[in-house]
Amino acid sequence: MYSKILALRFPKKMVNEPIAATLVKKFDLSFNILKAVIYPRKEGLMVLELSGHRKNFLEGLRYLKKIGVLVEDISHDIKRDDEKCFQCGACTAVCPTGALYIKRPEMEVIFDKDRCSACELCVLACPAWAMQVKFDRSILY
């Protein structure tokens, strides 16, 4: 099973199309929508975790490119400044994916970038402003 967190940018002509349903039916992929901002007649943005067999995953990405959807890999857009972090754990309470957790018995806050969905909840919760959004995304297609 192959899985990746992606940002899909839809041109305004595509926002009413059943793109996610097509990924499921035609390419046997599963998805978890982590964030979506899609308005009628405007560009849309959807952050999702897309999973499936690698071959199907790549075919699904080719389909998205063909219909004009920009696909960006964003799984590492959230960064932690370890010098600012004072290990309070506030971020762990809001992290929906478990990317931020407390290692016991050391009571150390661990940030697992591979589990991060870039939801940005930790950025808002961090009193030290140690969690930061980096928008240097790599475009897959």
* Region of residue 87 (left: phi > 0; alpha: psi -120 to 50; beta: else): left
**Peptide bond connecting 11 to the previous residue in cis, omega within 30 degrees of 0:** no
Quote the CA–CA distance of 135 and 71 in Å, as a whole number: 14
Whole-prediction pTM: 0.56
Protein fold of 2-73: Alpha-Beta Plaits (3.30.70)
Residue 35 corresponds to which amino acid? K
Structure confidence by residue, pLDDT tens digits, 40-98: 778 888 888 899 999 999 999 999 999 999 998 765 568 899 999 999 999 999 998 89
| CATH 3.30.1490.20 correct for 78-134 | no
pLDDT bracket for residue 141 (50, 70, 90): very low
Quote the CA–CA distance of 61 and 84 in Å, as a whole number: 38
Residue ranges covered by each domain of the chain: 2-73, 78-134
